[in-house]
A and B are shown apart, each in its own frame.
Chain A
Amino acid sequence: MTAQQIIFLFVALFTLISAVMVVTTRNLVHAALWLVSTLFGVAVVYALLNANFIAVVQVVVYIGAIAILFIFAVMLTRRDMRDTGPQMNKNWWAGALVAALTFAGLVSLLQEWSGFSKTASDFPSGFDAMGLLGEALVSPDAYVLPFEVASVLLLAALVGAVYVAFNPRSGDSQK
């Protein structure tokens, strides 16, 4: 076993344990913090795959924005910030079924793929993954359409959020 495999196994175990803790802990803020460590584990997996940009963006977006938003939402919507809830609701079996099916589907799909059991080769020297990614995102032959559609979707969400929060009676922020 190579050093990288050992590191991967540790990180994967850490991520999985954190993910299980997210759904089993009774304290909601603890669940959010375990979610942070799960997402961090995923970021480390990206870094192990040499995908530096995605790893850093994972930390910026998921930990810096989404997890903080979760924690805020939990803190601002509960009467008691140490609120605890039941671990499961009555749909737990459906969630478990979907997770198991997704896992089985991914494994069966990947086994068809020829690169499944190969070790990834290193990047050639001077390989600019960042530049290629940037060009692919704005090139008409590659991903410019999905990129723009995602931008429009985010813009619509932004406008929607402003509309929901805007109170037409007061007219502005003055209370």
Chain B
Amino acid sequence: MNFWNDPLRVAAEWLEGIFAGWGMDAVAAHVLVVFLGVLLLIIVLMALDVFLVWVERKVVARFQDRLGPNRLGPFGLIQPFADIIKLIIKEDTTPGDADKVVYNLAPILSMMSVLILWAVVPLAPVMLGTDLNVGALFIIAAGAIGTLSIIMAGWASNNKFAMIGGFRQVAVMVSFEIPMLTMLMIPVIFSGSMNMNVIIQAQDPVPFWVLSPLGALIFLIAAIAELGRAPFDLAEGESELVSGFNIEYSGMKFGMFYAGELLHAFTFGGFWAILFFGGYRFFGLEQVSPFLAILILIFKAMLGYWVIMWVKYTMMRIRIDQMLAFNWKFLTPLAFALLLVTALVNALLASAPAWFYTLSMILANLFTGWIALEIARSATRSERERIEGVKKPVEAHH
């Protein structure tokens, strides 16, 4: 076992050896090394987060036919550092009558709910973080803490716009948690485990997006809603709510929400990649070196993040009643139906040859999606006829 094959374990054993040499208790040394590992992961993530600000600004500039930050350093790469210095030296304001403890706890919890997600991310075949056997549910649990942080921010700010924004955001998150949880069960059905690493390993010949394209799509939609990004950014609603739940936050406290959102988007890009696109797998390249596997995962996560940005900067915002109707009348029933169909096909064809299984899964997905769209179309048509009155058939031949 050398450093290039299993860097984390080698480094951990080396450090534990050093600490033991200092006369430290073996258990204490182990705890300290694990703590240092977590610290390293957080530092890397926060450094990546700084870089994400630049990525986001550059990409949105491209979508809007602009150049984006281009003055500071090559390609404007130093811009995020200037932003951070500005955020840190800004005055830290607290609104009068705000609930100070809750107000200050909210941005911390918001950032925490994103960072905690990385505990279950398998970075490489040998770098697992926590090898939790309930990884898929853990994502939802972390999301619950994020929801809590937003309602705390909205309530503690003592501002009606913040409160309304918080309510809206929580409504979105609570609603879209259901299709998301349902879609998390689809990779679980295919792999037979909720462990993230087993899910990645199970995508050996066929990644799950091939088996369940509709599942991947619904997961992406639910993830975008969970992030509160356009078209589901009605909590932000600049024109009516100014900025939503984070309106009263200034300086780095606002920065925590903002950086948390960017990292959250990147993280969900990563989970999309892990659950449906094979995570760190890329035609056996991940076996060459763990560092290569991490690069593959980051590349795939960036690709997912790019799709999320693409949607954000192309779609318009929808109203809250449209959001609720879309989720409860269309997405949630569709997610349940897809889960039932997938489980049924999986059980019926458990012993069928692989090509037949794959083909049936794809067809079952397409069929479910087609039926759902047909039902939605006829429902919308009858709704329109009810409101506008039945259109008289137009004379076609003149």
Contacts and interface: CB of A to CB of B under 8 A. Distances in A.
Contact of A56 (B99, B138, B152): B138
Interface in B6-59: 27, 31
Interface in B229-274: none
Contacts of B174: 65, 68
A60 B133 contact: no
B31 A53 contact: no
A156 to B, nearest CB: 19
B134 A67 contact: no
A63 B138 CA distance: 13
A71 interface: yes
B137 A60 contact: yes
A71 B144 CA distance: 13
Interface string A60-84: 1001110110011001000001000
A145 interface: no
A33 interface: yes
Interface in A14-35: 29-30, 33
Contacts of B144: 59-60, 63-65, 68
A contacts with B: majority SS: helix
B147 A33 contact: no
B148 A67 contact: yes
Q: Which of A52, A56, A65 is most buried by chain B, counting CB atoms within 10 A of its CB? A: A56
A56 B148 contact: no
Nearest to B193: A130
A124 to B, nearest CB: 15
A68 B170 contact: yes
Given A56-B134, A130-B194, A33 B27 contact: no
Nearest to A52: B134
A3 interface: yes
A142 interface: no
B277 to A, nearest CB: 24
Interface string B143-173: 1110110011001000000010001001000
Contacts of B137: 53, 56-57, 60
A129 interface: yes
A42 interface: no
Given A59-B144, A64-B177, A71 B151 contact: yes
Contact of A52 (B27, B133, B163): B133
A11 interface: no
Contacts of A30: 99, 102
B73 to A, nearest CB: 42
B333 to A, nearest CB: 14
B133 A129 contact: yes
A60 B151 contact: no
A173 B321 CA distance: 10
A24 to B, nearest CB: 16
A128 B133 CA distance: 9
A67 B147 CA distance: 11
B127 interface: no
Contacts of A81: 155, 163
A66 B102 CA distance: 19
A56 B134 CA distance: 8
Contacts of A67: 148
A45 B175 CA distance: 29
A81 B162 CA distance: 13
B141 interface: yes
Given A52-B134, A71-B151, A60 B102 contact: no
B132 interface: yes
B133 A68 contact: no
Interface of A: 3, 29-30, 33, 36, 52-53, 56-57, 59-60, 63-65, 67-68, 71-72, 75, 81, 128-130, 173
24 contacts: A3-B31, A29-B155, A30-B99, A33-B102, A52-B133, A53-B133, A56-B134, A56-B141, A60-B137, A60-B140, A63-B141, A64-B141, A64-B143, A64-B144, A65-B144, A65-B174, A67-B148, A68-B144, A68-B174, A81-B155, A130-B133, A130-B134, A130-B193, A130-B194
Q: Which 7 A-B pairs have the closest CB atoms?
A: A64-B144, A59-B141, A56-B137, A56-B134, A63-B144, A60-B141, A56-B141
